[in-house]
Amino acid sequence: MASIDYPIKVVARRTGLSAYVIRIWEQRYNAVEPERTDNNRRLYSQEQIERLNLLRQLTKAGHSIGHVAKLPTQKLRQLAAESYPQGRTARGSSEELPTASFLGECIAAIKSLDATALDDTLQRAATALGALGLLKQVVAPLAETIGALWRAGTLTAAHEHFASAELRVFLGNAAKPFGATHNAQVLVVATPAGQVHELGALLVAAAAAHLGWRVTYLGASLPAAEIAGGARQQRARAVGLSLVYPEDDPQLESEMTQLRALLPPEITLLAGGRAMPAYRESLENIGAITIESLEHLGLTLDDLRKPAKKAKR
């Protein structure tokens, strides 16, 4: 029997999964069953780390964690080989996956301000990867890449606004077949005042819609009172905020504090995005749930569907 001596922090670093996601996959889906120390700390084997890596790759490829977590490790290896042929994986800098081609085509279309080419590429990616695969493998890295190129001066604000406008239409249309029922939980999505980049917020809105939530998208750079008013009017279960740029806004803490004060206690506040770690302490001080990834967002929204169960941070 292999030695079981890896704590969860090491496993998180080696798999690219957050400790939160690892615990949820264990508790909800029985993905792995770690040993426990006398003081109840989890310890994982090398085989379990491999299994978690495979599960991460497969969910990144668009598979449902609820399905793949039930499969034996050998079957996971087989699926991973089919999803990433010739030994390629979802991690590492040298892979040549089909998604890299889609991403490159999207960036070229945005640089050319070519709406037809961007829509065509997104349509082909959606057909090849499925709805959630498109969001995880193309739209999420596309948003990150656009932000990086904008900060480097390779793309202008016009390119970023063009991409946001086109993705808003495309993702809105793509989510229509997943239209939520009238009594579905409501998520209000926006970016707070001073946060003008909305690609992250669009991604959150699309992901939540695909997961069965009724989403009200309010747009970018809204004052706290406006966001709170929209959430109250919609009787939202949660408010999702995207924080992308800047990372050093001195006004954001007071905006977030005001928003929390204006929201009823039953409305949960979620915050994620590239700039979120810079504001993590302030967000946690007001009880906001900080979101690390799309996977984390999905698990958190699943928790919020259950009124009797308090969402975990």
pLDDT at position 98 over 70? no
Q: What is the pLDDT of residues 19-77, one digit of tens each?
A: 888 988 999 899 999 998 888 888 988 889 889 988 988 887 778 888 899 999 888 88
Stretch 225-241: mean pLDDT, rounded? Answer: 97
* Strands in the chain per DSSP E: 4-7, 35-36, 42-45, 186-192, 214-222, 238-242, 268-272, 289-291
pLDDT at position 312 over 70? no
pLDDT at position 308 over 70? no
Burial 76-96 (b: 16+ CB within 10 A, else e): beebbeebbeeebbbeeeeee
Average pLDDT in the chain: 86
Domains and CATH numbers, the chain: 4-83 (1.10.1660.10), 98-174 (1.10.1240.10), 179-304 (3.40.50.280)
CA 13/CA 19 separation, integer angstroms = 9
Split at pLDDT 50, 70, 90, the class of 283 is very high
Stretch 288-292: mean pLDDT, rounded? Answer: 94
Q: Could you tell me what percent of the chain has a pLDDT over 90?
A: 50
pLDDT at position 129 over 90? no
pLDDT at position 110 over 90? yes
pLDDT at position 264 over 90? yes
CA 204/CA 187 separation, integer angstroms = 10
pLDDT at position 295 over 90? no
- State how beta strands 238-242 and 268-272 pair: parallel
Q: What is the pLDDT of residues 165-224, one digit of tens each?
A: 999 999 988 877 666 677 899 999 999 999 989 999 999 999 999 888 999 999 999 999
**DSSP structural state of residue 136:** I
Q: What is the pLDDT of residues 76-89, one digit of tens each?
A: 888 877 765 544 44
CA 294/CA 309 separation, integer angstroms = 21
- Residue 180 pLDDT: 64
